[in-house]
Amino acid sequence: MKPDNIDELNEVITHVEYHPKRSDVLLFSSSKGYICYCDLRISSNFSQYANIFKQQKDKSKQHFFTDIINSISKARFAPTSDNYIFSRDYLSVQIWDVRNNKQPV
């Protein structure tokens, strides 16, 4: 939902994708630097029941460009396995195991 004043915009969904084999699972990536893995069999309310994949950053090393660098530009399901998600931010590519959302593989 776009706010009336663009200066009030603080987050953008950068990519949305359904699972290639399962119609009940989807993911989306955010400009805030996280990936949301949603299983629609549990609930369509992603704010309560989804897995959030976000790498913890050191707060002391944040600077002016931190939000831009940490923004996830794209996230995809692995084509050969149901257990992995590939994500890309400004500086790196990360592989996430859907069974462990604390840090990338």
Q: What's the CA gap between 54 and 22, in Å, rounded?
A: 23
For residue 96, what pLDDT is reported? Answer: 94
Q: What's the CA gap between 7 and 20, in Å, rounded?
A: 36
Above 90 in pLDDT, residue 90?
no
For residue 27, what pLDDT is reported? Answer: 94
pLDDT band at 81 (very low <50, low <70, confident <90, very high): confident
Q: Which residues pair with 100 in a beta bridge?
A: 97
Query: In the numeric block, which tokens belong to residue 80?
Result: 């050969």
If one counts every other C-beta atom within 10 angstroms of the C-beta of residue 72, the result is 24
Q: Where do the structural domains in the chain lie, given as residue ranges?
A: 13-97
Compute CA distances 11 → 32, 33, 40, 79, 102, whole Å: 6, 10, 23, 28, 21
pLDDT band at 95 (very low <50, low <70, confident <90, very high): very high
pLDDT tens digit string along 9-67?
888 899 999 999 888 999 999 999 999 999 888 887 777 778 899 887 777 777 777 77
For the entire predicted model, the pTM comes to: 0.83
